[in-house]
Structure 1
Amino acid sequence: MSFRTRRDVLRMSALAALAVPLAACQTGYSDEPDPLASPAEQARADAAAANQVGGDLASQVAAARTTHAQTLQAEVDRLNRPKSAAQVVTPAASGVSGLKERLATAREQAEKLVPSLPRYRAGLVAAVAAGCAGLQQLDDKLGPGTDPGTVTASATTIPGEAVGPLQKALDAEHAAVWVYALVSAFVTSNYTASVSDGANEHRNRRDACVRMLDAAGVTPDGAEPAYITPKPVTDSTSAKSVVASAEADAAAAWRGVLEGTDDENLRKVALVALLGSARRGTRWRVAAGESPAAVALPGAAA
């Protein structure tokens, strides 16, 4: 669920019609093999391997990778490009160690595709990468995976079509900063470092958004005095849950940036943010005892 002001609630119905990505309706036909065919086949192979391993951890990997396979294949089928032999990477290791290698391979494969894809596909494949990054946070046996790093963005000009999505990302970052401040009073001391790290990252993202919007000559949205949380925060568990929701909202906003621009530098910023929120979101969902702990496609509409 999203953190919304009352103003947001009033305009939701007007925005609902815009939820379907226009890029998904594009016309035209390419006679080149579909670059999403290999990731789809890799996801199917990973899911099958996870099912063979068995156990709760492997079952979560199997479920998420099955979702990846189905979603990617649906997009491949939609464009119906010429078929080609899809290459699948099979790790030398077996069992959970093999699944760890598979997740690292799938994530890297997806991340490399993001810069060159059409907008809608860039968002979809970035979500697959983020889903793998989230799975890596379930247990050290699967990860931890490569840290995407901190979002950095200089005051460079951004394309006009990215202003709207970037404002929404800024709104999500304002809300996340507020949430981390809120929950600091409810979580125990062993979560202090996690709260501090999360708050610092979202402040960095917020400031990056402000710099980019200022450079574009656009007034950045300001923070609201307070935000409406999906559920009341009354104890440590509800605090952890609301942080996970804030990370999910941030992931959705940054996926929106990916689907709203062709600018390579801005896509890099958005991908780092999406991966970071997927990783943190998984950790907070695990801490809150939520199931599934790892979201298959972070940033997807609920």
Structure 2
Amino acid sequence: MQHVTSRSGRSGLDRRSFLRAVAFTALAVPATTGLTACTSGYDDAPDPLRPLWLQAEEQAKLARQLATGSPERRDAVSVVADVRAAHAKALRAEVERLNRPVPEEGAAPEADQGGDVWASLAQARDDALGLLPGLPRHRAGLVGSVAAGCAAALELGQGPAPDEPSLDVTSVTELEDDTAEALQRALGAEHAAVWVYSLVRAFLDADYDGGIARGERAHLERRDECERLLTSAGRTPRPAEPAYVLADPVTDAASAARAVATAEADAATGWHGVLERTDEKTVRTFAAHCLVSAATRGVHWREAAELRPLVPPLPGRETTAD
């Protein structure tokens, strides 16, 4: 997000600006002299994102230190360092956006875990997911992407998968219009992903059969759950299109892998959009799980398609360069 600062280009205040400044100063003076408390003009409450920011910084440092040994280990841990450094930058920007006091000292959630970068990364993922229910919408989108980025990076080290949430989406009986529209868009991405997985079977050899089956099954489940959610809330799910137009036509194994990677990225974008347009906890939990799942599957397809970055730091939130 760009912050635009307007400047007049003049070195001093003119008479009108001076009078306006005096007027606002007068309005700011309390009318009652019995008040004993004063405020700084900032929200002085601890920012819940600050621990996540400090945790990301510490884990980026840890990963840099551990990026030694075999080339395979060095490359994987270096990716983790890049991902967590990007998280720290995005989280710090959001903390500072609210103009809260930002002391440099302070404890972060445990990052070392005995030097196990994968265990600490799994903890960071879980910390971010645990924070989601109480966040405002725009912050839920950011923190959901951070959790998804951690989960995706864990795929490089075969880290532990997050626990499957136990959800009854049919318990949601009402949706705000913007939430329903975001769910319809996510559903559209799921329809497209199912179609893409079916398409690429003819272009990929047997080594990919397991990945295709798992990915297709996951998107069918997401599709069905999303349709049930919309229906229970009195909305009519939009049907799938007969076919979808791909920006890069599938003609061989390489283009097939790129198509699947793109479908996973589109699904992540759709579910990130839901996070930014709902306060309903069941919907938010469902969307976060779908975002994480798409991001983790996407890593393997991006590797097969030789796309970079291998792990987009903020899945669903950013446009990545290939």
Coarse TM-score class (shorter-chain normalised): 0.7 to 0.9
Alpha-carbon spacing, 1:264–1:121, altered in 2? closer, same or farther (3 Å): same
Measure, in 1, the Cα distance between the counterparts of 2:113 and 2:228: 46
CA separation of 1:116/1:47 partners in 2, compared to 1, >3 Å: closer, same or farther? same
Tell me which residue corresponds to 1:242: 259
1:288 aligns with 2:288: no
What SS class does the counterpart of residue 229 from structure 2 fall into? helix
Question: What fraction of aligned residue pairs are identical, expressed as a percent?
Answer: 46
> Where does 1:1-302 land on structure 2 (aligned, <5 Å)?
30-54=43-67, 55-83=74-102, 85-94=106-115, 98-140=116-158, 143-146=159-162, 148=164, 153-154=169-170, 156-160=172-176, 161-302=178-319
Size of the alignment, in residue pairs? 272
8 Å CA contact retained: 2:53, 2:91:
yes
- Going from structure 1 to structure 2, the CA distance change for 1:275 and 1:151 (only over 3 Å counts) comes to farther
The answer to whether the 8 A contact 2:122-2:160 is kept is: no
> Rg bigger for which structure?
2
User: Higher mean Cα deviation, 99-108 or 258-267?
Assistant: 99-108
Residue 155 to residue 207, structure 1, CA distance change in 2 (3 Å): farther
Give the conservation status (yes or no) of the 8 Å contact 1:138–1:286: no
Kept in 2, the 8 Å contact 1:151–1:208? The answer is no
Gaps of 5+ in 2: 2-40, 68-73
5+ residue gaps in structure 1?
Answer: 1-19, 21-27
Q: Distance in 2 between matches of 1:146 and 1:100?
A: 13
Structure number with higher relative contact order (C-alpha < 8 Å, ≥ 6 residues apart): 1
Shift of 1:82: 3.8
Residue 132 of structure 1 and its aligned partner are, at CA, apart by 0.4
Alignment partners' CA distance in 2, 1:247 and 1:187:
17
RMSD: 2.1
TM-score (norm 2): 0.79
Deviation of the 1:80 alpha carbon: 2.2
CA distance in 2, matches of 1:169, 1:281: 16
SS in 2 for 1:229: coil
Distance 1:145 1:201, change over 3 A: closer
